[in-house]
Amino acid sequence: MTKNQLQLRTIIIWGVSLVLCVSAGGTIINLWARKGVVRERERELTGLQETNKRLQDSLTDIKGEDYVERVARDKLGMVREGEMMVILPDREPKAQKSGSDEAGPNWKKWVRLFY
Over the stretch 14-46, which tens digit does the pLDDT of each residue have?
Answer: 999 999 999 999 999 888 888 888 899 999 999
Cβ-proximal residues to 79 (8 Å cutoff; 6+ apart), any chain: 73, 85
> What crossing angle do the helices spanning 65-74 and 3-63 adopt, rounded to 10°?
60
Query: What is the predicted pLDDT for the residue at 59?
Result: 93
Q: Please tell me the pTM assigned to this model.
A: 0.43
